[in-house]
Amino acid sequence: MTATAPTRGTDGRPARAADAKPRQGLFRLRNETMETIFGYAYALLMVDLLLVAFNAPLAAALFVTVDPLASWPFFLLLSLTLAPSLAGAFEVFRAMRAEGRARPFAAFWSGYRRRGGAAFVVGAATAVMVGLALFDATVMAGTVWAPLLGPLLAVLGIGSVVAALFTVVGLVVFPTASLRAIAKAAVYLVVRRWYFSVVALVMVGLIAAAVLLQPVLGAALVPGILLYAVFANAQYSFHRALEEESAAAA
Mean confidence (pLDDT) of the chain: 84
Query: Residue 50 has what pLDDT?
Result: 95
Confidence of residue 136 (pLDDT cuts 50, 70, 90): confident
- The overall longest dimension of the chain from CA atoms, in Å, is 104
Segments making up each domain of the chain, as ranges? 25-238
Helix (H) or strand (E) holding 250: none
Query: Residue 31 has what pLDDT?
Result: 66
Mean pLDDT of 110-121: 95
Type of residue numbered 4: T
Lowest mean per-residue pLDDT among 13-27, 43-57, 118-132, 229-243: 13-27
Distance from C-alpha of 231 to C-alpha of 211, rounded to nearest angstrom? 20
Decide: helix, strand or coil at residue 193. Answer: coil
Least Cα distance to 41 among 110, 102, 108 occurs for: 102
Name, in order, each residue with C-beta under 8 angstroms of 41's C-beta and a sequence gap of 6 or more. Answer: none
pLDDT tens-digit series, residues 38-61: 778 888 999 999 999 999 999 898
Query: Residue 184 has what pLDDT?
Result: 93
Lowest mean per-residue pLDDT among 102-106, 196-200, 228-232: 102-106
Mean pLDDT of 79-107: 90
- What is the pTM (predicted TM-score) of this model? 0.83
Phi/psi at 142 (nearest 5 deg)? Answer: 85, 0
Distance from C-alpha of 152 to C-alpha of 1, rounded to nearest angstrom? 92
Query: Residue 11 has what pLDDT?
Result: 53
Burial 34-56 (b: 16+ CB within 10 A, else e): eeeeebbeebbebbbebbbebbe
- 5, pLDDT greater than 90: no
Burial 185-221 (b: 16+ CB within 10 A, else e): bbbebbeebeebbebbbebbeebeebbeeebeebbbe
Length of the chain measured in residues: 250
